[in-house]
């Protein structure tokens, strides 16, 4: 049996959808048993949500005052201690996971496998490389503990309907004192978050310069960008080179609800996002 520990991402109130996507990835491991661990000051509410994710056998709550804020330096030694009982430790390939999981791997003295996008066997996976222009198959050594991040854009979120057991866990771990929480500042917005939006549309000069989508969308850019941007579950990204090539489009985009105008040029995921959008028959 392969015991998989998934690090749950949350804000103290709600479980991040990326965690349920990690569960879908872990469910592809043959003969796997999935546990979600939640670190925080009081994870009771989030634990109930995690227990309801289908496919999860158990949920561990590691509650202590030092875990109130998600500091990688504080979480990592606790996860390294928990990892002793598991063959696999997964985290989401979000800002949270990318900061945390390499530290866990370093403490355990094992390499990390990053951005899992498909499971072939318990220790063989596919992941993107060269900015998504190539997909490589990687195989980890079964004799060593597997630490990995999951490319959440490649997996659907596991459905609800689970009834996992919830257990509180106390760890006798000395935490570092060189890192402390000072504060966090985020801009307030009613627009969807790009990491959790169900549909993300992005593109650069190649997609926008001709006035229509290179993948076969009919009509002008506005014909399909505006409905997508107005969707309560969608997020639209207009990248810098498209804005610079058509200032009028940038002005129009700024007036659309749920539109993000990026300051950076486009990168990995443009075509994947557009192809996904093309499958939605409700959009032009």
**Domain endpoint, select from 168, 183, 216:** 168
Residues 146, 69 share a domain: yes
Residue 215 lies in a domain: yes
pLDDT tens digits for range 234-268: 555 554 445 555 566 556 655 554 444 444 444 44
- Residue 64: which residues within 8 A CB-CB, separation 6 or more? 41
pLDDT of residue 123: 96
pLDDT tens digits for range 146-186: 999 999 989 999 999 999 999 999 999 999 988 888 888 77
Residues 25, 143 share a domain: yes
pLDDT interval class at 118 (50, 70, 90): very high
The yes-or-no verdict on residue 215 having pLDDT over 90 is no
Residues 116, 229 share a domain: no
Radius of gyration of the chain (CA): 20
Give the integer Cα–Cα distance in Å for 55 and 133. Answer: 32
Residues 163, 24 share a domain: yes
Which structural domain range is residue 124 located in?
Answer: 2-168
Residue 176 lies in a domain: no
Q: What is the pTM of this model?
A: 0.73
Residues 206, 164 share a domain: no
Phi-psi region of 258 (alpha: psi -120 to 50; beta: other; left: phi over 0): left
pLDDT of residue 275: 46
Residues 203, 164 share a domain: no
Residue 50, domain CATH: 3.40.50.620
Residue 98 lies in a domain: yes
Residue 112 lies in a domain: yes
Residue 203 lies in a domain: yes
Phi-psi region of 170 (alpha: psi -120 to 50; beta: other; left: phi over 0): beta
What total of structural domains would you count in the chain?
A: 2
Residue 51 lies in a domain: yes
Q: How many CB atoms lie within 10 A of CB 183?
A: 5
Residues 33, 84 share a domain: yes
Residues 230, 138 share a domain: no
Residues 203, 161 share a domain: no
pLDDT of residue 271: 46
Residues 92, 24 share a domain: yes
Are 6 and 34 spatial neighbours (Cβ–Cβ below 8 Å)? yes
pLDDT tens digits for range 15-47: 999 999 999 999 999 999 999 999 999 999 999
pLDDT of residue 106: 97
pLDDT tens digits for range 41-92: 999 999 999 999 999 999 999 999 999 999 999 999 999 999 999 999 999 9
């Amino acid at each position: 049996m392969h015991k998989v520990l998934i690090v749950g991402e949350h804000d103290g109130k709600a479980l991040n959808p990326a965690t349920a996507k990690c569960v879908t990835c872990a469910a592809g491991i043959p003969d796997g048993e999935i546990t979600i661990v939640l670190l925080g000051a009081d994870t009771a509410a989030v634990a109930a949500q995690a227990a309801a994710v289908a496919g999860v056998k158990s949920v561990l709550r590691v509650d202590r005052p030092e875990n109130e804020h998600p500091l990688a330096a504080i979480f990592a030694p606790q996860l390294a201690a928990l990892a002793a009982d598991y063959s696999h430790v997964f985290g989401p390939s979000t800002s949270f996971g990318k900061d945390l999981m390499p530290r866990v791997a370093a403490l355990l003295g094992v390499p990390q496998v990053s951005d899992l996008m498909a499971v072939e066997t318990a220790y063989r996976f596919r992941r993107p490389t060269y900015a998504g222009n190539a997909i490589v198959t990687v195989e980890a050594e079964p004799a060593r503990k597997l630490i990995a991040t999951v490319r959440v854009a490649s997996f659907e979120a596991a459905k609800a309907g689970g009834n996992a057991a919830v257990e509180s866990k106390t760890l006798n771990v000395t935490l570092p004192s060189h890192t402390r929480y000072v504060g966090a500042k985020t801009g307030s917005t009613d627009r969807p978050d790009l990491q959790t939006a169900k549909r993300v549309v992005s593109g650069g000069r190649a997609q926008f310069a001709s006035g229509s989508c290179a993948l076969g969308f009919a009509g002008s850019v506005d014909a399909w960008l505006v409905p997508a941007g107005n969707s309560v579950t969608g997020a639209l990204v207009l990248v810098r080179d498209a804005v610079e090539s058509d200032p009028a489009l940038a002005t129009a985009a700024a007036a659309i609800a749920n539109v993000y105008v990026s300051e950076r040029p486009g990168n990995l995921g443009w075509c994947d996002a557009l192809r996904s959008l093309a499958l939605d028959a409700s959009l032009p």
